[in-house]
Structure 1
């Protein structure tokens, strides 16, 4: 479902996005040589989201810049080669503070607005734990899509670091084979194509990224994510919120969680729901100390935390039977704010085509639906 942007004051729409669009051929190469890979970056270096720089050992030339950032030209290392998984992309390109949370390892441009991206899913993750010792947590798919959109926006469309991203939707569907857990980390290759590209002058304002996921050369899943890019000045007018104050608001005492085992968790800190006593409704439990869901300070509840709330509510609605979301379609209509009660409602809709159950979930705050989701929950043998 498409979600409209907020109503903007006159002139503010022109401030959505400030990075240069992807030029074609020599024009793009000349810009990269002049000023580095991103607008405002020093030639030969890459300015980080949280400070610091990523040095380009080849002095800022076009090929050197792409390789320094972890990318390749179409003639470079093929992404089904082992070298594609040797190192992660710079963490700042995917808005992560912890290197351990970066799933993407390399990318290359195939043509206008089409890319290949390599990702590696760990056999064990501190939060996205394996499902029944047989499958990777499908939420790794969602995080891969989120990171892919950020990577392409920054590294290929030139959106400056420090810009905010408004995610409107994220959808994926995976086969069981695509989620299988082997004796080594999963090497995943994504073919990503940009659609519905929106611009403000020469700046990227938003796009929809459609992705096909492959393992061992076999198509195992598909997904999409859509977002808008907002400059710091525009974001400050959209959301005149002091980050330190918002972050402090999130320190409110946490309600007691539901029993961890009921939502497939071993630790209370990984439970994002609390009982309400109202049937298929639970309170969203926001713990800003969580090292994965809150990898760095933010002024609202992150989209991945909202999706985790819907996932856990779907399992509770099914009677807590072990199940994993092999399909997930999430729409985000507004931010989920700190400091205001938020309820997650989930109901089983019926059987899913191909097995499992369809669950509908809503995230409601201040009487308004902030996010909604359709999950296909497949039973997991334990």
Structure 2
């Protein structure tokens, strides 16, 4: 049975302890969604407390939820060279965390089950990213569709998300995901989940000034011959992109690579990914080279620059993305 849980505990007992609360009357109201503290990190699969952006959960009905989040004024990785806007990738990570939160806290998906993102789309307005001298309190309005249930519980769904700041809609997204038990995951991975493989050798990073990055470790691409082709740099020591050991390349690493490829293609280091559509076809292995290719694409919004990014590994496409890049004057 779905539980209207809003109070968080420090261990898995929270999955069995419902807490009833009052909920906002309309989408966009933030008066009763709290921003006082972050939720327990294990609910969003993070090892570092500093990487948790979510602050609260409110249940409206069995398929509708509101999630509070806060975007910091500065972040060690999700940051722009210009200091007048938040990094749009904060929305992508916030959506990822929010989906995990409702899966565990509301739909009772066990904490050790493995999640797979199948399709992810998100977008944000330039105005919604503007800095105003304080952290940004964000409200996600989430509606679940096509919920898949088995005797063992919920195994996937499609989630529509609206993103609000100070009561004003600034963006949104959609995520389709599935999850499996540890035993099923081990069979799907052919035992690769039992140990973390060494990544393929790191190539020389693309010059950081071309993509607005100051630190070479934050560059996830190395150049290849051909002009519009790069190789993915998988640095498992990166404290944000690899917050904890995993057996495959995380989706957020691929999203960051797509952003950096789009910046290189547009030729503007400060260009912003204001819309992104991603399809994940299969797991991206850590120990095999991944080739990243940029192709032209029509933008979804007039005035932006469209870029299609394709990820190939072992001769097969493993992920595809289309981005709208806004050139900042």
SS of residue paired to 1:222: strand
Q: Which residue of 1 aligns with 2:301?
A: 353
Q: Which residue of 1 aligns with 2:44?
A: 94
Shift of 1:137: 0.7
Q: Distance in 1 between matches of 2:168 and 2:271?
A: 24
Q: Which residue of 1 aligns with 2:11?
A: 46
Does the CA contact (< 8 Å) of 1:108 and 1:117 recur in 2?
Answer: yes
Is it true that 1:207 corresponds to 2:207 in the alignment? no
Q: Which residue of 1 aligns with 2:62?
A: 112
TM-score (norm 2): 0.92
Distance 1:103 1:45, change over 3 A: closer
Is it true that 1:85 corresponds to 2:35 in the alignment? yes
Note the alpha carbon deviations across 1:68-94, whole angstroms, 9 max, x for none.
xxxx44379x96238711000111000
For the pair shown, the structure with the greater C-alpha radius of gyration is: 1
Does the CA contact (< 8 Å) of 1:130 and 1:137 recur in 2?
Answer: yes
Does the CA contact (< 8 Å) of 2:304 and 2:324 recur in 1?
Answer: yes
Q: Distance in 2 between matches of 1:87 and 1:176?
A: 27
Q: Distance in 2 between matches of 1:107 and 1:291?
A: 27
Matches within 5 A, 1:1-382: 22-23=1-2, 46-47=11-12, 62-63=18-19, 72-74=21-23, 80-81=30-31, 84-130=34-80, 132-201=82-151, 203-243=153-193, 245=195, 247-250=196-199, 252-350=200-298, 352-381=300-329
Distance 1:310 1:340, change over 3 A: same
Shift of 1:354: 3.3
Q: Distance in 2 between matches of 1:299 and 1:208?
A: 25
Does the CA contact (< 8 Å) of 1:79 and 1:107 recur in 2?
Answer: no
Distance 1:45 1:197, change over 3 A: same
SS of residue paired to 1:84: coil
Q: Distance in 2 between matches of 1:127 and 1:211?
A: 24
Q: Distance in 2 between matches of 1:239 and 1:378?
A: 38
SS of residue paired to 1:127: coil
Q: Distance in 1 between matches of 2:22 and 2:202?
A: 48
Structure 1 unpaired stretches of 5+? 1-21, 39-43, 48-52, 67-71
Distance 1:204 1:83, change over 3 A: closer
Q: Distance in 2 between matches of 1:363 and 1:113?
A: 34
Structure 2 unpaired stretches of 5+? none
Task: Give 4+ residue runs of structure 1 displaced > 3 Å after superposition.
Answer: 242-245
Shift of 1:224: 0.8
TM-score (norm 1): 0.80
Distance 1:161 1:79, change over 3 A: farther
Q: Distance in 2 between matches of 1:329 and 1:146?
A: 14
Shift of 1:319: 2.0
